[in-house]
Amino acid sequence: MNPKKGNIDLRIKKPISNKDGSISTVRTIGIEADGMYINIPTVIGGKVVSNKEAINYYRKTGKHLGKFKTKEQRDAAARQLSIDQGRKYSQ
């Protein structure tokens, strides 16, 4: 199976403020399911949720930030997403 693009529109995700003064828009975690390596957000509905809540939300809605053949591809995509989001909100 080839990598699949995420199905969450990041243009409408609003950043949340962290206690340290930084911001978060997606706070990605990686999971393995259905033979794929998947990035999912832990910022849902404008708040940070636990990893368990994020996984349950993914299972319920199917919303994700990308599905990949390998863990390395998934992790590289998560790093790039973090860089891209950081650039977007530091302008």
> pLDDT tens for residues 29-71?
999 998 999 999 999 988 899 999 999 999 999 999 999 999 9
Tokens of 60: 């319920």
**What's the one-letter identity of residue 37?**
Y
The pTM assigned to this predicted structure is: 0.89
**Structure confidence at residue 13 (pLDDT):** 79
Structural domain of 44: 4-90
Q: How confident is the model at residue 1 (pLDDT cuts 50, 70, 90)?
A: low
Strands (E), the chain: 4-5, 16-17, 23-24, 28-33, 36-41, 43-44, 47-48, 66-68
Average pLDDT, the chain: 91
Q: How many domains does the chain have?
A: 1
**What's the one-letter identity of residue 79?**
R
- What residue has token string 């993914």? 58
CA–CA gap between residue 89 and residue 63 (Å, rounded): 23
